[in-house]
Amino acid sequence: MPEMTFRVRWPDGSQTDCYSPSLVMHDHLSAGSSYPLPEFLRRTHTALGIASDRVRAKYGRPCAMAAAQLREIDLRAAPFASVGGEVEVLSMQPELPDSSGAI
């Protein structure tokens, strides 16, 4: 199962590298896009939940690293809950291959 990392910039300008046990994050976030904090949290919870379910289907137990990453994201987001702001996805590695057919 391919793993990936994604780097985000929080509303205060700080950056965090995040982990996913699955490329499913590409279905929910896009590099170069910004999301209002509640939407970013919803998207990451959904995607990491799906990723953990994929691990469970393959190995018989949910992914502890996905759960830990969700806790870390929630802790980093907590100080911004009352003030809001946007979270920018700076990069996603590995990138998905270009499906447009461009060379």
Rounded Cα distance, 97 and 67, in Å = 27
Position 14 scores a pLDDT of 97
Rounded Cα distance, 60 and 38, in Å = 31
pLDDT tens, 11-56?
A: 999 999 999 999 999 999 999 999 999 999 999 999 999 999 999 9
pLDDT tens, 58-92?
A: 999 999 999 999 999 999 999 998 988 999 999 99
- Is residue 16, in this structure, part of any structural domain at all? yes
Query: Which phi and psi (to 5°) does residue 65 adopt?
Result: -70, -35
Is this prediction's pTM over 0.85? yes
- Is residue 79, in this structure, part of any structural domain at all? yes
Side chain identity, residue 87: V
Domain count of the chain?
Answer: 1
Residue 76, both tokens: 């980093």
- Is residue 102, in this structure, part of any structural domain at all? no
Burial of 99 (0-12, 13-18, 19+ CB in 10 A): exposed
- Is residue 80, in this structure, part of any structural domain at all? yes
Residue of 86, 30, 22 whose CA lies nearest to 48 = 22
- Is residue 36, in this structure, part of any structural domain at all? yes
- Is residue 100, in this structure, part of any structural domain at all? no
- Is residue 101, in this structure, part of any structural domain at all? no
Containing structural domain, residue 30: 4-93
- Is residue 83, in this structure, part of any structural domain at all? yes
